[in-house]
Structure 1
Amino acid sequence: MPRPSDESPEQAELLRRFQDEIAGMSPGDLGSVLQQLMSARPGAGLDPFERPAPPSRRRERRADVVTYRVRVDVTGTKPPLWRRLELASDMLLDELHDVLQAAFGWTDSHLHQFGSGTEYYGRDTEYYLCPFEVEEGETGIPEGEVRIDEVLAGPGDTLFYLYDFGDGWQHTVRLETVLPREGPGPRAVCTAGRRPGPPENIGGVAGYELHSAATDPARPAGARAEFAEMFGPEVDPARIGSTPFDIAAINAELAALGPAAPPAVDLPGPLADLVHAVRNRREAVRLQQLIGQAMPDEPAALDADTAARMVRPYTWLLDRVGDRGITLTSAGYLPPAHVEAAATELGLDDEWIGKHNRENQTLPVLELRESARKAGLLRKYRGKLLLTARAQKLRADPVGLWWHLAEQLPPTSRDACENQAGLLLMIGVAAGSSEDLDGTVARTLRDVGWMRGDGTLLTSRDAHLAAGPTRTMLRRLGALTGSRFREQERTTPEGITLARAALAHWPAGC
């Protein structure tokens, strides 16, 4: 439509909005808008395109608590991806969110939203705010204030749940049966279901179906070709993990959730603070369970030979510095002779390439010296590296040095993310969790609220780097062994003892 020369920008914007709106309206909606336009008074400020909030769909809460048997389907999946659950009718929507995450194997790495209406994207749908939206100051009803018996009353009623606004996983929660509830019992139980839970960031239903076909040996070879066309030939579908449908595993996780996150009052202050900082209740439960494995009741058992073997790199360095100290280079590094000796005598040359004669180019030697300084064993004074008074006392006492180093773990810095990453790594080592330590650290850091500078999610590599200072000390003390690359690192039995002693030195409630 040509624009008149005397048309104002405001009029042009109104015309554009009018054209956009009527293009998608039904005849009934269009007639309603025209009727408002004809009845509007000039200057009344009426915006005919402003959609009023839908009337509340919440009903009165039940006086008694019953069991709701529901079936939850992921829209668009063929064959259907679904779970059947039995839920306490007084469950709040924020609890239901945790249940759905566990039932389908989601990691709660994205936003979500519940909606009550005839369809998720409907003009009459009432949406409820997730915690992030509440923190951002959005107006509306927080999901933590809505019970499921307010939005599901009788068989056939539905509730919608959208997870990951990018991939758009739409779940339909349909009430099948209302059953009497006998005794306390679990608040959520999975009784049936079909198909594995989708991998995160797979591209929604289309990507899930391609992934399912590409990893099914019964499917034709063309399925892998279609997957490669969408994701690239370098992406191996077999290495993208889906969550197997395992009722026992799901119910174990649901049982651990309980009505709320477990209390952390009996934990030492730093550990309790970490648990309380985790915003995801499922992750808080997992973390506290991991801490329970990392802090058994019995004290750490240590013999002198084990202590001497573990602290040898630090004893060697303290003896090398000696009573007279070492004069550093003009740039503040160890002279080449000391670097070569450390690399050779401590076996550090196997960890790093190069000639091992310059400290700034031999990272394991530099890390050893810096970790000793942060642990209060070395100091710089007028260009020399000297022993501290504490180091003088512990130099010939391997057991005392072992305990001193344990109490310095994890080393602290001004970076709060590094501190939490180091503490999480210590917890994982103390629990004996050699598998995917960095993945566990990254997941918990994300649930605390940390993200990359560009706003994207932290990766396992980010977690590996953030826990670097702690990892350095653990490696030097023999708590972690194998390649410096995270995929090949393993926790040692001596490392478990060390990490447990480090976590136990804080008194409960400190």
Structure 2
Amino acid sequence: MVLHHRRFRLEPRLAWILGELRESPHARELTDRTTRLAETQDSPTGQDLGEALGAHRFLLDRAADGLDLTAAGYLRPAVVRAVADHLPLMQDWRFAVERESHTQPVLHFRESVQRAGLLRKQKGKLLLTSAGKRARSDPAFLWGHLADRLVTSRRQFDDVAGILVLLHLATDGDVDTRQIADLLQALGWRRGDGSPVDRMDVQWIYNDLWAALGNVGAPVSGRGLLARHPSPEALALIRDALLEEAPWEDPADGVAQAAPSLSLRFVPNED
């Protein structure tokens, strides 16, 4: 097997987290997780890419001409049933599939696609945004867009907590919300009343991220509402969200090129 020297540019908030916590007892673990994330399989291509994003593409297709919403702003039952048939997270659902408000996996998935900026509500309809129109016919664009939108570009509580959730999910398949709450406190965050960050403050962010990631790729055995096992494709999406491969530079001539090596080297983002 031939291995190549690969350099990765860190997502700016991830670089900031590692820098701020470099003296923390958790510093080595965070660095190890980042290294393991870099070793995740590459993102899918071709037909595999389209299949990995099947749930997202189906909803975008259904919304191409606009979807009429109920008076309360939910998807209509017929659409809920159709979307449910394409969601990996519905495989363990044992309840009736009628109202969107009572079918949590569909509701949370639709909301995640809206948060990603692919759908919008207007005058009682669910419509594609400009990005949604392009993503509908371009799986590679859809993949990159989802990776960019898993967390926003701000250094706010939700965004930094999301980075830590993604790092845990991609490297253990499990998320220690209590440990993440402790890390956020070490980074200086407190609740509005001054009390410590609690694991439930992290859990809500984890739930939102899982609504998107849990529906990427084929169903994984045991994956469901509580047993959260990301697919290989979901892991690749996390990797693309947090790490960007950078060219390798030959110190002899300064030319960026691929070269055989056994190591991984990380390059902090200049932002």
Identify whether the pair has TM-score above 0.5, normalized to the shorter chain.
yes
2:29 corresponding residue in structure 1: 286
Cα separation, 2, equivalents of 1:314 and 1:327: 18
Query: Which of 195, 205, 218 lines up with 1:466 in the alignment?
Result: 205
Aligned counterpart, 1:508: 269
Question: Residues of 1 paired with 2:140 and 2:84: CA distance?
Answer: 24
Q: 1:308 to 1:337 in 2, by over 3 A?
A: same
Q: How many angstroms apart in 1 are the aligned matches of 2:115 and 2:153?
A: 9
Tell me the CA shift for residue 349 of structure 1: 4.1
Task: Tell me how far 1:440 sits from its aligned partner.
Answer: 4.4
Stretches of structure 1 lacking an aligned partner (at least 5 in a row): 1-265
Q: How does 1:92-491 map to 2 (within 5 A)?
A: 267-278=10-21, 281-295=24-38, 300-322=42-64, 324-346=65-87, 348-410=89-151, 416-430=156-170, 432-450=171-189, 455=195, 458-459=198-199, 461-478=200-217, 481=220, 482-485=223-226, 488-491=227-230
Q: What do residues 106-141 of structure 1 show as CA deviations (whole Å, max 9, x unaligned)?
A: xxxxxxxxxxxxxxxxxxxxxxxxxxxxxxxxxxxx
1:245-285 deviations in whole A, cap 9, x for unaligned?
Answer: xxxxxxxxxxxxxxxxxxxxx74421122234448622234
Is the 1:290–1:427 Cα contact (8 Å) retained in structure 2?
A: yes
Higher relative contact order (CA 8 A, sep 6+): 2
Secondary structure of residue in 2 paired with 1:282: coil
Contact 2:69 2:125 in 1 (8 A): yes
CA RMSD of aligned residues (A): 3.1
| CA distance in 2: counterparts of 1:466 and 1:400, whole angstroms | 25
Aligned residues: 238
Answer with 1 or 2: which has the greater Rg.
1
One-letter code of the match for 1:343?
A
Supply the AA of the counterpart residue of 1:504. Answer: L
Conserved? CA contact 2:38–2:243, under 8 Å: yes
Q: Name the SS for the 2:53 alignment partner.
A: helix
Give 3-state SS (helix, strand or coil) of 2:25's partner.
helix
Change (3 A) 1:379 1:428: same
TM norm structure 1: 0.42
Distance 2:26 2:74 in 1: 43
Q: Distance in 1 between matches of 2:156 and 2:130?
A: 29
Higher helix share: 2
Larger proportion of strand: 1
Whole-angstrom distance in 2 between the partners of 1:294 and 1:348: 24
Query: Which letter does structure 2 place at the counterpart of 1:376?
Result: G
Tell me the SS of whatever aligns to 1:376: coil
Relative to structure 1, the CA distance from residue 437 to residue 477 in structure 2 (aligned partners, 3 Å threshold; closer, same or farther) is: farther
Aligned partner letter, 2:169: V
Q: 1:356 to 1:450 in 2, by over 3 A?
A: farther
Q: 1:411 to 1:362 in 2, by over 3 A?
A: farther
Matched, 1:492 2:234: no
How far off is 1:479 after superposition?
Answer: 9.0
What code does the residue aligned with 1:325 have?
Answer: G
Q: TM-score, normalised by structure 2?
A: 0.74
C-alpha deviation, 1:470, in angstroms: 1.6
Letter in 1 for 2:239: R
Q: Name the SS of the counterpart of 1:386 in structure 2.
A: strand
Q: Which amino acid aligns with 1:282?
A: P
Structure 1 counterpart of 2:129, one-letter code: T
Aligned to 1:237: none
Task: Tell me if structure 1 keeps the 8 A contact 2:162–2:206.
Answer: yes
1:334 Cα deviation after fit: 0.9
Q: Secondary structure at the match of 1:395?
A: helix
Name the CA shift for 1:301/1:365 in 2 (closer, same or farther; >3 Å): closer
Asked if structure 2 preserves the Cα contact closer than 8 Å seen for 1:336 and 1:357, the reply is yes
Residue 490 of structure 1, CA deviation: 2.4
CA deviation map 1:452-489 (0-9, x unaligned): 66835623x5433232222221112149951322xx32
Identical aligned pairs, as a percentage? Answer: 32
The aligned counterpart of 2:3 is none
Paired with 1:478 and 1:445, the residues of 2 have a C-alpha distance of: 30
